[in-house]
Amino acid sequence: MDIDATRDDGLPRSVVLALWLQGVGDTSAAVKSVQGDDEPHEVVGLPGFPDGTDLDTLVTTWTLGPRTVCALLPAPGDAAGVPAVANLAATDAGECVVITTPAGSWAAVPAVTAFGSHLERGHLVRWDLIAVPEWSTLLLGAIGSLSDAERDLRTSLVRATDALDSLDVARWRDDAADAIERLRQTHTGTWPVPQLDGRRARVLELAARLRAIVALGAVDDGGAVNLWQADQRSTALREVDRTARHAMSAATLGEIP
């Protein structure tokens, strides 16, 4: 998981944007939440507006009428429901928002550029819009339902915990104990997203924790004795990440009449 693809709160930018697009009452709050500590986001390819328009315009335009929205988090070898025409760009970014409105369907792919030092990091974000075919009818087959996601996440939590325990990261990384403690404390009440129903909140929280565990365990092979053991752990963590990515998408899928 690219450190610049995920904010400090553990959520990809696309997840935050997709959730706000489902029921914005205050556009300025939505924009502030999506941008976080980034520089003001730019939008390229929004029909009827010049390239470089602001995120406020995008949010306003896409919340005027009925819409279906979802955040997708593809990885190499797993398109995760992204329409083929946007697959390469979205996979490079590790995320996108797909939306269908009466005016058409698009994928919004964030291009993130980091600047500054690791102590004082900033990000420039440009949302590139790509026209795509209608995508919603094929999506559930790719990512599964919300109830499926909740069940699969609980199984993956056991897998992820076992992999992390076998890596013994708290022993070989000085910062790991603090990171693990932060994972225990993370909850959706601190996230910059609209109010979520119980199941969506649970799924999103657990998926974010699992992705953070994967990132923690993927830094290196820790206490792996041999290449086979390292490969087994990497395989387990990749499967956990796939489950968590699909679950995040299921938690952000919404249809607004």
For the beta sheet containing 53-54, the strands, ordered from the edge strand earlier in sequence to the opposite edge, are 53-54, 42-44, 121-131, 104-116, 96-101, 67-72, 254-256
Q: What is the pTM of this model?
A: 0.86
**pLDDT grade, residue 198 (50/70/90)?**
confident
Least confident interval from 84-88, 111-115, 163-167: 163-167
Higher-scoring residue by pLDDT: 254, 158: 254
Q: 149-155: which pairs have CB atoms within 8 A and are 24 or more residues apart?
A: 149/203, 149/207, 149/243, 149/246, 149/247, 149/250, 149/251, 150/199, 150/202, 150/203, 150/206, 150/247, 152/243, 152/246, 152/247, 153/203, 153/206, 153/207, 153/210, 153/243, 153/244, 153/247, 154/206, 155/243
**What are 33-45's pLDDT values in tens digits?**
999 999 999 999 9
What's the whole-number mean pLDDT along residues 166-175? 53
Give the pLDDT of residue 49: 97
Give per-residue pLDDT as tens, 207-244. 888 888 777 766 655 554 445 455 666 777 788 889 99
Sign of CA dihedral 222, 227, 229, 233: positive
* Structure token digits, residue 107: 């994928």
- Angle subtended at Cα 121 by Cα 123 and Cα 18, rounded to the nearest 5 degrees: 40
What is the average pLDDT value for the chain, to the nearest integer? 83
Domain ranges of the chain: 13-143+252-256, 146-248
Q: Above pLDDT 90, what percent of the chain?
A: 47
- Find residue 68's DSSP bridge partners: 100, 255
Say how far apart CA 198 and CA 78 lie, in whole Å.
28
Quick one: pLDDT at residue 184? 54
